[in-house]
Chain A
Amino acid sequence: MSVNAWLKAQRPLADRSLVSAIWLNTANGLLAINQAWALAVILDAVIFKDADLTEVRSWLWGLLALFATRALIVWHAERAAFQAAASVRVKLRDQVYRHLQRLGPAYLSGQQSGALIETLTKGIDDLEGYYARFVPAMALVMILPPAILVAVMPMDWLSGLIMLITAPLIPLFMILIGSGAEARNRQQWQRLVRLGAHFLDVIQGLTTLKLFGASRREIEILARISDEYRHSTMQVLRIAFLSSAVLEFFASVGIALVAVLIGFRLYDLALPVPDWIPIPKLTYLQGLFVLMLAPEFYAPLRHLGTQYHARLGAVAAAEQLIQILDTPPSQINPGKEPLAATPPFGVRFDEVSFSYGPGREVLKGLSLEIPPGQCIALIGPSGAGKTTVINLLLGFLVPTRGRILIGWQSLAELDLDDWRRHLAWVPQQPRLFQGTIADNIRLGRPEADLATVRAAARRARADAFIETLPLGYDSPVGERGTGLSGGQIQRIALARAFVRDAPLVILDEPTANLDPESERLVQEGIAELARDRTLLVIAHRLSTVRRADRILVLDQGRLIEQGTHDELIAAGGFYARMLAAQGPLQQGGCGG
């Protein structure tokens, strides 16, 4: 769908407010016609009918009433316009976010989250320019000039003709100029983006520049690039400004022509036209009225010109939004059944294959078993498919072939929300959400009381450091857990898993970036978690998995070895070789 069509299609989201805004603006415009008439009557009376103040008094009070009414209308039109855009923004933001949720993490991993966040916050706000400014302005252009023509034509078709001819010429020329500039714009655009980004790029990399002694050199480069930017942009703008010049030209010329021709006729000056064309005759009253309407005729077009920028911002945002909304959720899990198996349950992969696309097959007929109540370690080189196994279990991906069985049910048949209630997951870099530490630990069970939270933190070896914080469990955390070390974040994530009290826990590289002390504590927490639960641990570091009940070795999407640590060492296969390459091991692993 084109951007324009899409923007139009969202209008129903604006409720009645948009229509209100348009009607109010129209009313304001029509009252302007009345105002012009009243003013013309007053001036005509005073100048040509020798009226004094008392005679025009009633008209003057009428004029005042018009002023007050118009002011009220303008105020409410503004409010309606805002409301219209506001309505669209609130609803659209909710729609787009929920769509993102349906698209799932699989979609998000392929995008730059920064851009998505910008789109959801500022981008949606930019739509205001379209619904609150552009649409009402556009509607006014459609309604008011014709209304004025209707008022003017019967009185003076000559002035009406002038207005009628100049008006369409404006958008015509603007489009001609615009399309001429379009091609050059597109060429320049990427260049301008790069030039424009240079300044911030240099600031971000200031330390790097300093390390290479290039930071002072950069001053001249910065000056030169800014100059180039100015030069390039001005070349583009020179043409763009012609558009507004055209608008100004026809509007000014139109008004001037109307004024001069009315003046000539009021003076009874013969106009240089052939006799057979009947020039309309005017009274002063009529002439003044038409003159005052002339700027009002062009005003909506001038106003539209100033709102064009607002539209551009909205169009850019809309393009981003359409991209998101048009992406269909690729992994649809149609299952609806609740999980029948009772904990502890085991999981079995039955000839599971998964590919991200043609030629990108990650799992090739993988069959493995995770027996209930055991601690299973999943290892293998990067790219072997470990993360894919996790994502399949978590329901983020759907196998292209084969089945995943929990008990006797296939994962594809299960209701995803119900299945996930039986899961806890500690990712490689757990995320702490805006809120307190307690809120974060409660993530999987919001109704849990503080005692439960504390108990979970104790078991996860996190309570000690939480107690040392000034606000304890009420300490605010957010985003990447600012102020907390990697190990501390990991342990809070473990506490989360404890509170969740799920029968199947999945841990992804739990000690990857930790220093020895943190690693030891996290290992202890994992050992506690492993009791009475089924645990699946992915690890890069062989030291992490030494004590697992079983080690599954994955390579190139296939299970190539399995067994306990001692069995695999004795077998002298892939595992044994990987171990030899690593170096001396430390304590730790599934069993503590």
Chain B
Amino acid sequence: MNELRPLWRLFRPYRGWMLFGTLVALLTLLANVALMAAAGWFLTAMATAGAAGVTINYFTPAALIRGSAILRTVGRYGERLINHEATFRLIAGLRVWFYRHLEPLAPARLQQYHSGDLLSRIRADIDALDTLYVRVLIPLAVAGLSLLLFTGFLLFHHPVLALTGLGFWLLAGVGLPLWSQVRGREPGRRIAADEAALRAAVIDGVQGLAELGVYGAAEHQAQRIATLSRDLIAEQGRLSSDQGLTQAGVGLCANLSLWLLLWIAIPLVDDGRLMPPHLAMLALFTLASFESVAPLAPAFQMLGRTQAAARRLFAIVDTKPAVSEPSAPSPRPERFDIEFRDVSFTYPGASRPALSGIRLAVPQGGRVAVIGATGSGKSTLFNLLLRFWTPDAGSIHLGGYDILDFHGDDLRRSIAVVSQHTHLFAASIRENLRIAAPEASQEALESACRVAQIHDFIAGLPEGYDTWVGETGVRLSGGQGRRIAVARALLKDAPILLLDEPTEGLDADTERELMRALDTLMVGRTVLLITHRPAGLDWVDQVLVLDQGRELARGDVSVIPSALQTHLLPL
């Protein structure tokens, strides 16, 4: 339960709603039980009175029955309304909290998680926590409170009855679910592994269909998927059987509780220590009461899943950020040159440094290219310059000031980035552009898009700038996305421009158009480009060639060929 304690603190603002919801759920359950118990009592009382010719006040019990029926209906509706309202508030709170803690960690601390994996884990874990309230907390609270009341009720009639009743309730509500939990742990692990294996095989089978077909391996893959499918289901079957057993067990507990009640109560009726209507009432009460413990088995299962989800989410959130913000206000640079002074950096857990003793000076308005193969450290330069990571040794200066003296946001205000991967948010094109300049007018957006060579395309879309893009909208090609990134950079109008392999993966025509747009963008700015292609760099003043984090050559464009020829780059 330890993992859930911080979660409990998170839920504090909503405790009022949660209490209210629990109460209404409890009332609904009590009404349910009262309906049957009162009916049993009523029937028997009326029958015995009728047989004996005695008058009884039947208005009250009849009213109780009717009242229970109404309360059950209203309670059910109200309970769902209130609890869903509470759940949504909890969800909102959870998401804001999670984001607030995630924000300072990006991107440094999140790079270790493979992107798709992080996202699907977060989605699954947050979903699990969303159901914590309705599927776990409420059933547990209602069961606990109602058992107290029920035991008290039975105590009122006979202590032994209370004992047996409590015994069976606890067996059905706690004993059986716990047994099921424990037994389910191993199969649960195997199921998770099987699901992953099946998923991997399906991914291979779908995304690799072409190659499988040409190399004649398609049939093999189909059989592999079928086998993994059967394995997974066999494992799930074992778990399902246990769950079925638990369910049967809970029903059996209810029946046995009734059975024991009869053995104990019948002699009491014969002795006259228990009134006959009470016997019928207690019998029906017992059967109805188990409705409170029936949802506990799934609740316990959900609890396990929720604990695991909470643990993972807290693991992400409890990490210390990779960079800390300075306490003093940021400096205001007057010029925008960049200087790397003996910068060294190793990613945590890496076997060799990403950068060693790098020196580079980019004058204001200068254009510098950093060339190197994958893994040579080029992207690390950008990560450090953007203050996503802190160098282990050396320092980086902007306009003469050490960038560590800047607040992250202030520093990045002076830098615009155009990279290979452009993330477009699930929003309109206009909103995607406005990220760069929230106050920009439509004219400003359009003129930036014109320069970026993307305005005509946008204008040609049926909804123009209002077109919904991103995950849930229209998909843009790599080249189009990158031109939007250029438009963003234009709107941001930052004095420093970082280009991360901007033409990678584009065909020749698109590349040409993009370069045209970039040419305009680069005017008057300090530009730092990273690339692995040493060709086509005549427009650059200075190059830095990197190999495995070390400087191979530095100077003007002429140093490139000799650097590549004299030093054999390893595999």
Contacts and interface: CB of A to CB of B under 8 A. Distances in A.
B246 to A, nearest CB: 9
B62 A260 contact: yes
A507 B262 CA distance: 83
Contact of B211 (A60, A117, A430, A513): A430
Contact of A93 (B220, B229, B509): B229
B426 A284 contact: no
A381 B512 CA distance: 12
Contact of B373 (A116, A496, A517): A517
Interface in A206-248: 206-216, 218-219, 222-223, 226-227, 229-230, 233-234, 237-238, 241-242, 244-245, 248
A101 B218 contact: yes
Contact of B209 (A100, A193, A208, A382): A100
A108 B208 CA distance: 10
Contacts of A214: 435, 438
Contacts of B203: 113, 117, 479
A452 B334 CA distance: 65
B435 A208 contact: yes
Contacts of A264: 46, 58
A209 B435 contact: yes
Given A211-B417, A266-B47, A67 B256 contact: yes
Nearest to B50: A267
A516 B534 contact: yes
Contact of B423 (A204, A226, A381): A204
B259 A295 contact: no
Contacts of A253: 69, 73
A295 B36 contact: yes
Chain A interface size, under 10 / 10 to 19 / 20 to 34 / 35 or more? 35 or more
Interface string B501-527: 000110111100000000000000000
Interface string B209-224: 1111111111010100
Given A67-B252, A199-B95, A242-B77, A206 B216 contact: no
A252 B571 contact: no
Given A79-B241, A256-B35, A434-B204, A203 B102 contact: yes
A515 B373 contact: yes
A197 interface: yes
Contacts of A205: 423, 425
Interface string A285-296: 001100110010
Interface in B1-48: 35-36, 38-40, 42-48
Interface in A69-101: 70-72, 74-79, 82-83, 86, 89-90, 93-94, 97-98, 100-101
Contact of B425 (A35, A202, A433, A582): A202
Interface string B79-91: 0110011001101
Interface stretch (B165-173, B266-274, B303-311, B341-349): B266-274
B199 A117 contact: yes
A46 B276 contact: yes
A363 interface: no
A77 B244 contact: yes
B505 to A, nearest CB: 7
B91 A226 contact: yes
B207 interface: yes
A516 B471 contact: no
B68 interface: yes
B201 A266 contact: no
A226 B209 contact: no
Interface stretch (B141-149, B277-285, B444-452, B459-467): B277-285
Nearest to A206: B106
A509 B81 CA distance: 59
A291 B214 CA distance: 70
Given A237-B84, A256-B69, A266-B43, A215 B210 contact: no
B200 interface: yes
B513 to A, nearest CB: 12
B121 to A, nearest CB: 11
Nearest to B217: A443
B73 A47 contact: no
Contact of A46 (B49, B266, B388, B570): B266
A175 interface: no
A201 B408 contact: no
Interface in B341-380: 372-375
B333 interface: no
Contacts of B139: none
Contacts of B91: 226, 230
Contacts of A515: 372-374, 532-533, 569
B58 A263 contact: yes
Interface string B150-175: 00000000000000000000000000
Contacts of B42: 259-260, 263
B236 A82 contact: yes
Contacts of B468: 194
B329 interface: no
A223 to B, nearest CB: 5
Rank and list the top 5 A-B pairs by shortest CB-CB distance, nearest first.
Answer: A78-B244, A226-B92, A230-B88, A259-B39, A252-B69
Given A75-B241, A517-B568, 7 more contacts: A67-B256, A70-B255, A78-B247, A209-B435, A210-B107, A394-B213, A430-B211
Interface of B: 35-36, 38-40, 42-51, 56, 58, 61-62, 65-66, 68-70, 72-73, 76-77, 80-81, 84-85, 88-89, 91-92, 95-96, 99-100, 102-103, 106-107, 110, 114-115, 119, 122-123, 126, 195, 198-218, 220, 222, 225-226, 229-230, 233, 236-237, 240-241, 243-245, 247-249, 251-252, 255-256, 258-259, 262-263, 266-267, 269-270, 276, 279-280, 283-284, 372-375, 386, 388, 408-409, 412-413, 415-417, 422-423, 425-426, 435-436, 438, 468, 470-472, 488, 492, 504-505, 507-510, 532-536, 564, 568-571
10 contacts: A46-B270, A71-B252, A86-B236, A105-B213, A121-B198, A230-B88, A291-B43, A395-B213, A427-B210, A516-B373
